[in-house]
Structure 1
Amino acid sequence: MTGNILIVDDLATNRIILKVKLNAACYETQQAADGETALALARETQPKLILLDMMLPDLSGIEVCRRLRADPATQHIPVVIITASTDRDSRLQALAAGADEFLTKPLNEVILLARIRSLLRAHETEAELRMRSETWGDLAMDGGVGGETLLPMPGRIGMVAGQPSVAMGWRNTLANHIKERVTILTPAEALTDTTSAASQDLYLVAEDLGAAGSGLRLIADLRARLQSRHAAIALVLPEAEPEAAAMALDVGANDLLTLPLDPQETALRIALHIQRKRRADHLRQAVSHGLRLAVTDPLTGLYNRRYALAHLDRIAARAQESGRQFAVMVLDLDRFKTVNDTYGHAAGDTVLETVAARLRDNLRPSDLISRIVGEEFLVALPDATIATARQAAERLCRIVSEAPVGLPEKHCAVRVTISVGLALGPNLTPAPQIPAETARDTWARADAALMEAKSDGRNQVMVFAAA
């Protein structure tokens, strides 16, 4: 089964008909005969989608939809309102209440199933992003990343028709109903990488762009390109022909609009799609932010031990392939405990941040620098010799020690030094009976050299020497 769908209808016959159609398409279903039961089931079972009849014995479908959207536990579940009424006001009220779609009976099975597939794809994508974002702990219920909130910036709409005058007519029809910025694009312009074409939140695409099936091909091309992959897309058709409409939804359209455009309904649909797109963009940003945090030390901004281990393995692998060696330094602040004991841990943090900045500013972009634990840092220099590596290590020692670290909160400064252990790896010509050296072996040798540097007086560089 591919998804659980909640069917809400007061007539058992209607529920059974929908259940049979959906079961045949491999969807699991559950049923509710009234609004309160539907709300309770939605909260309890978290269905993938809700098919909601407009007329229920206790609550209207619109009121049920409003309550679903107001509840954080159910606000992201797609809702399709179904009714026998063709009343325009009811359709507008349903969309304003947060319904994702409004379908009239008798239902066309082809369009219904295509709508369900489209909504489930969008829902699954958002649910996966939300789960990853929450895993990192960056997503708040108000939509903030790092304490920021989403600003209600105007959306951007690209209108694409066979003739610019047609798209201009759409723009004029919607002018008094939308606040979004509209750009008229040719099909070729919609697929370019220029800022004006590639930064759209939503595309309105005519079904006929001058050749049969051209609108569908443009939708597929927009979905295939990185700059427009996540934009919302609505196909504008002269009439809702079932097979063409279903194909449009399956190739990537989010919505279908029929001519002539109803300005109020179109404006509501545009607002819904842009809001959903912005929410997904925000979730992707939260996931990216969380990934950065997963490999970054929060105090110094350097890479952490997890990243250092993985990246050092890659440096070692490239060294083996190229036949060129790399250097590993393990650096440790001398007598750092004294700084913490004398000035406090806040001062110790200031020292760590300052030293990290000095190290970072005096290494190449290709060099790896990370804080691996406490006051200990690791540096890896690809394509290094023992002479260049020792020169770099001694330079770091000098730069750290030559200027005291200011402690504004203590109105003083403290001089700090570092000890450095250095090793070169890998051994490119090991004896046949000796296993190839790993990156961690090189790290261990550098760590052994560090211990020797500290026991021999500190504030110096010690190169590992094999016994």
Structure 2
Amino acid sequence: MTARILVVDDVPANVKLLEARLLAEYFDVLTAADGQKALDICENTHVDLVLLDIMMPGISGFEVCERLKNNARTAHIPVVMVTALDQPSDRVRGLKAGADDFLTKPVNDLQLVSRVKSLVRLKTLSDELRVRAETAQNMGMEEMLKAGDGRDEPGQVLLVDGRASSQERIIKALKPVANVMAMSDPQAALFEAAENPVDLVIVNANFEDYDPLRLCSQLRLLERTRFLPVLLVTDLGAEDMIARALDLGVNDYIVRPVDPNELLARTVTQIRRKRYNDRLRQSVRQTIELAVTDGLTGLANRRYLDNHLKVVFNRAVARARPLSVCITDIDRFKHVNDTFGHDAGDEVLREFASRLRSTVRGADLACRYGGEEFVVVMPDTDAAAAAIIAERLRHIIENEPFVLRSSGAVLNITASVGVACNTSGAETPEWLLKQADRALYEAKTSGRNRVVAAAA
């Protein structure tokens, strides 16, 4: 895993030291000697992570971090503050400024590399989500980044801790920002995290007869908890455990004795990031739905039909099962548009789709093929059964008039339907669809408002 790291420090020796460590891990390294140059680089160059000194002339590291996090173009870049300051208040201030982590000089090589790799891994995931959301919605991330991140809503934290005394201290520290459920049984906690809404899991490594990294590993293996933030609480000096935890995908750690303010700040950071990524994932899911759904009727669109029909056709061939397709077309739909207007036409299409949806079975797929044409794909359905379903659809369209909400006009709508089955000799899904289309054409030319099945 490689990435581009920006090292920001006004002391050349410090820059060279960090640069050498990162180059040894095959990272691409950029450098800046002051805050303004760092901001310019982040604004105009692709950067995966910033290692940022605090005490610099001009703009301090705290202000640089705040500016990066308040800029929609750079807010997603992880920032690790690297400084000689070692007071808890400094760490808290950095985290409140939006920093993703805080390392104290002299920086331990193992922790530096592990932190960088962990944060780069998280950024890679967020970047992929951001790109998909941007591409699909064709709208800047600015609106999404400015949207509420839920920081005013209490987080749901699951605390896995083997000691009642430390449970009480952590619950008390997090009370201002989170509802904490404390559990001492790691396996029960795993089930809880998988079954209920959780924003963060805090794992305290104080169990006498249980390896806490086992739980961290299981959280990353389960589909439901794979992206759930995990914060490890461990002893000072437990570098091997910390390094292994970060390699397993643990998002953050804090060492004992736990400073309540630092715990609070790290918790808020993880919850905020989790909710941000949740919004991105939701955006991607909505995008996928939009890509395969007809916006007017809510049915699947032709793009989805093309892919779905190939899958079910090949499955039917492999299993020697029947597969039927019907194409239906609204009779004289142009007359509706010409007489009542296109808004009325849209009403008719929506109502037609609603009746079509009520007719098909759970395993069937109803799609808007284009214009006033609709397709129903019916797996495990022979020609006779398909004709019955098509006739039921034709009847439900003809039997009840369409009432326009906009004008109150009552329209008598009918539909023509063409049906084809793979048992009629169709060798490809395209051929099957074409047979149904020919049957529809025959229904149209022979008087409309009827069902015609393709000849075997």
Question: Normalising by the residue count of structure 1, what TM-score does the alignment of the two structures yield?
Answer: 0.93
Name the residue aligned to 1:266.
263
* 1:459 pairs with one of 446, 449, 452: 449
SS at match of 1:119: helix
Name the residue aligned to 1:154.
154
Choose 457-466 or 268-277, whichever is displaced more: 457-466
Q: Which amino acid aligns with 1:333?
A: I
How far does residue 227 in structure 1 lie from its aligned partner after superposition? 2.5
SS at match of 2:230: strand
* 1:447 pairs with one of 411, 429, 437: 437
How far does residue 365 in structure 1 lie from its aligned partner after superposition? 0.7
Asked if 1:369 corresponds to 2:370, the answer is no
Q: Which amino acid aligns with 2:190?
A: L
How far does residue 193 in structure 1 lie from its aligned partner after superposition? 5.2
* 2:387 pairs with one of 390, 414, 430: 390
How far apart, in 1, do the equivalents of 2:78 and 2:145 lie? 22
Unaligned runs of 5+ in 2: none
How far apart, in 2, do the equivalents of 1:150 and 1:115 lie? 24
How far does residue 194 in structure 1 lie from its aligned partner after superposition? 7.2
Check whether the contact 1:198–1:227 (CA below 8 A) recurs between aligned residues.
no
Check whether the contact 1:329–1:446 (CA below 8 A) recurs between aligned residues.
yes
How far apart, in 2, do the equivalents of 1:23 and 1:465 lie? 71
SS at match of 2:143: coil
How far apart, in 2, do the equivalents of 1:42 and 1:138 lie? 23
How far apart, in 1, do the equivalents of 2:12 and 2:285 lie? 47
Check whether the contact 1:9–1:34 (CA below 8 A) recurs between aligned residues.
yes
Name the residue aligned to 1:180.
178
Q: What is the correspondence of 1:238-249 to structure 2 with a 5 Å cutoff?
A: 238-249=235-246
Name the residue aligned to 2:190.
191
How far apart, in 2, do the equivalents of 1:149 and 1:95 lie? 19
How far does residue 260 in structure 1 lie from its aligned partner after superposition? 1.9
SS at match of 2:223: coil
Q: Which amino acid aligns with 2:355?
A: R
How far does residue 169 in structure 1 lie from its aligned partner after superposition? 3.1
Q: Which amino acid aligns with 2:29?
A: T
- TM-superposition CA deviations, 1:72-103 (whole Å, max 9, x none): 11111111111112133222211111111111
How far does residue 46 in structure 1 lie from its aligned partner after superposition? 2.5
How far does residue 389 in structure 1 lie from its aligned partner after superposition? 1.4
Name the residue aligned to 1:143.
144
How far apart, in 2, do the equivalents of 1:69 and 1:271 lie? 15
Query: Relative to 1, partners in 2 of residues 1:413 and 1:36: Cα closer, same or farther, differing over 3 Å?
Result: same
- TM-superposition CA deviations, 1:162-206 (whole Å, max 9, x none): 23443233213443xx321100122121111577x6422111111
Query: Relative to 1, partners in 2 of residues 1:380 and 1:222: Cα closer, same or farther, differing over 3 Å?
Result: same
Q: Which amino acid aligns with 1:268?
A: A
Name the residue aligned to 2:122.
122
Check whether the contact 1:205–1:234 (CA below 8 A) recurs between aligned residues.
yes
How far apart, in 2, do the equivalents of 1:157 and 1:413 lie? 57
- TM-superposition CA deviations, 1:246-287 (whole Å, max 9, x none): 111111211111112211111111001000001111111111
How far apart, in 2, do the equivalents of 1:334 and 1:75 lie? 54
SS at match of 1:41: helix
Check whether the contact 2:163–2:206 (CA below 8 A) recurs between aligned residues.
no
Q: What is the correspondence of 1:57-456 to structure 2 with a 5 Å cutoff?
A: 57-137=57-137, 140-143=141-144, 151=150, 152-175=152-175, 178-185=176-183, 186-192=185-191, 198-211=196-209, 214-427=211-424, 437-456=427-446
- TM-superposition CA deviations, 1:272-323 (whole Å, max 9, x none): 1000001111111111111111111111111111111111122222221222
Name the residue aligned to 2:49.
49
How far does residue 144 in structure 1 lie from its aligned partner after superposition? 8.6
Choose 279-288 or 322-331, whichever is displaced more: 322-331
User: Alignment identity in percent?
Assistant: 41
How far does residue 233 in structure 1 lie from its aligned partner after superposition? 0.8
Choose 385-394 or 451-460, whichever is displaced more: 385-394
Check whether the contact 1:331–1:450 (CA below 8 A) recurs between aligned residues.
yes
Question: Normalising by the residue count of structure 2, what TM-score does the alignment of the two structures yield?
Answer: 0.95
Query: Relative to 1, partners in 2 of residues 1:172 and 1:126: Cα closer, same or farther, differing over 3 Å?
Result: same
How far does residue 413 in structure 1 lie from its aligned partner after superposition? 1.6
SS at match of 2:191: coil
Q: Which amino acid aligns with 1:311?
A: H
SS at match of 1:227: helix
Check whether the contact 1:138–1:286 (CA below 8 A) recurs between aligned residues.
no
